[in-house]
Structure 1
Amino acid sequence: MSQVDNDKPVSSILSHLNITQKNQKEKTDNSLGQTAFLELMIAQMNHQDPLSPQDNTEFVAQLAQFSSVEGLERLNKNFEGFTNNFMSNQALQASSLVGTSVSVETDTTKLMEGGIVSGSALLESSTGGVAINIYNDKGSLVAQVPAGDQPRGEMVFRWDGQNMEVNGKLLKWRAEQPMPAGDYRFEVMGNQNGEQQQMQTALSANVNSVTMGADGKLTLNLAGIGAVNIADVKQFN
């Protein structure tokens, strides 16, 4: 597997891809190719029975088979070239993600030093008495932010460790002192249909590194969250 981070240049990823592709090619060199098929057909013609030579129909059939083998060989080479280019592009894209922020469905993330946690909660209906509860890595409640009544849809919030902004508006609530950098869990609660319910949340996280599998799939290693498939990313911030 290949991992892209701040200490590993893209060239090393591409070199790894070239080595992998070379090994794969060496494993398939034993297959019957165009040259081997032609040599086999010529050897067959040289050793045929002169009293019972190969008829024209059979010879034409072998020529057609030879053309098919040649066409398949060209198709395989073209496909290998396409795969090589695709994986190289994936490696370049992976390197550009390191150090950026993405949003995924989770309730836990890391507040970076001087950073901001962006989050969202999906409200299936108008919700009253919304509160955003924040817990530290020891499970202690460090902030309970009242967000009031919120309409149906996606509620977006931003937290810098002291101030909370909801749907683009800075709340009057403010923590007595800024929270230190570290891992935090977010819990969005609200009244829906007369019941207190917890809402599904998505949070931002910093991309520490990117791992590329042999199949070309990318896995993002996120601060405070861990490994996440790139297909599960909700938003690139």
Structure 2
Amino acid sequence: MTDAISTGLLSDISVQEKYAAEPKSKELGQDVFLELMVTQMRNQNPLDPQDNSEFVAQLAQFSSVEGLDKLNNTMGDFVGSFESSLQSNQALQASAMVGRFVIVNSDTSYLGNEGLIAGTIDVPQTTDDLKVNVYNEEGELVAEELLGAAEAGPMSFAWDGNIEGTQLPAGNYRFEAYANFGGDDVQLNTALSHNVDSVTVGANGAVSLNVAGVGPVSISSVREIL
């Protein structure tokens, strides 16, 4: 009797030490589920045993949950791989834009020797009087371009820095666009051409273009590629 008690006690201690040593998991794995099922069968009322269909239903339910869990993990890996591939593709496409000109929202751009500044003016409504004033780095008005009538929407224009046969020097120039609505001059938003110097991939995988005179901009901010 003493030996049986001692053996049982040592067995309990051994089991306790085993579970204490094993890392605890919050997930109900297949081994734990089967162990619970066996324990449930051992401790059921012998006069009123549980129906086999109930065990089958529990097993089927567990298998279904386990299958969904594996499917979620597989889809998670697939989505992660797809996002990584998409980011790599965006970085590759962005690198091909280095050295090219893009149009982004700004009011200042650089005019190179025998260069050209392209731009877009956002016209909110139809006007008969649209104009662009151009200022040099000293803030002096060097050109006034009368564009005339324009319909609502983006209005494209180009400026080469040539004033009555005289080429203005290379440098940064500021543009102010105005439209007359009901007798009032309203300043409009402009987007100008800039050179893409380099590409940066952030820690989160976001790709940005380093645009001369503007700084880093997202690819989605590019309005046009020239």
Asked if TM exceeds 0.5, the reply is yes
| Superposition pairs of residues 148-163 of structure 1, within 5 angstroms | 149-153=148-152, 154-162=154-162
Whole-angstrom distance in 1 between the partners of 2:167 and 2:114: 14
Q: Which has the larger radius of gyration?
A: 2
Change (3 A) 1:49 1:127: closer
**Which of 147, 161, 166 in structure 2 is aligned with 1:176?**
166
Q: Is the 8 A contact 1:131 1:144 kept in 2?
A: no
Alignment TM-score, normalising by the size of structure 2: 0.69
Q: Which residue of 2 aligns with 1:118?
A: 118
Alignment TM-score, normalising by the size of structure 1: 0.66
Please tell me the residue identity of whatever aligns with 2:93: Q
Structure with the larger RCO, 1 or 2 (CA within 8 Å, 6+ apart):
1
CA shift for structure 1 position 96: 1.1
**Which of 160, 169, 194 in structure 2 is aligned with 1:205?**
194
**Cα deviation per residue 1:57-86 (whole Å; 9 max; x = unaligned)?**
333332222222222222222222212221
Please tell me the residue identity of whatever aligns with 1:37: G
Identity %: 31
Q: How many residues are treated as equivalent by the alignment?
A: 191
Q: Which residue of 2 aligns with 1:228?
A: 217
Whole-angstrom distance in 2 between the partners of 1:190 and 1:49: 83
For 1:224, what is the secondary structure of its paired residue? Answer: coil
**Structure 2: gaps of 5 or more residues:** 1-24, 45-49
**Which of 203, 206, 219 in structure 1 is aligned with 2:208?**
219
Q: Does 1:63 align with 2:90?
A: no
For 1:91, what is the secondary structure of its paired residue? Answer: helix
Please tell me the residue identity of whatever aligns with 1:116: L
Q: Which residue of 2 aligns with 1:145?
A: 144
Q: Is the 8 A contact 1:99 1:208 kept in 2?
A: yes
CA shift for structure 1 position 52: 3.1
**Cα deviation per residue 1:173-228 (whole Å; 9 max; x = unaligned)?**
52633322x22111123443222332322211111122233444332221112222
Q: Which residue of 2 aligns with 1:51?
A: 42
Q: Is the 8 A contact 1:102 1:206 kept in 2?
A: yes
CA shift for structure 1 position 235: 1.4
Q: Is the 8 A contact 2:127 2:179 kept in 1?
A: no
Change (3 A) 1:226 1:174: farther
Q: Which residue of 1 aligns with 2:87?
A: 87
Q: Which moved more, 1:201-210 or 1:216-225?
A: 216-225
For 2:223, what is the secondary structure of its paired residue? Answer: strand
CA shift for structure 1 position 95: 0.8
Whole-angstrom distance in 1 between the partners of 2:104 and 2:118: 11
**Which of 31, 34, 37 in structure 1 is aligned with 2:29?**
37
For 1:139, what is the secondary structure of its paired residue? Answer: coil
Q: Is the 8 A contact 2:113 2:169 kept in 1?
A: no
Whole-angstrom distance in 1 between the partners of 2:132 and 2:165: 13
For 1:97, what is the secondary structure of its paired residue? Answer: coil
Whole-angstrom distance in 1 between the partners of 2:94 and 2:66: 42
Q: Give RMSD over aligned pairs.
A: 3.1
CA shift for structure 1 position 160: 2.3
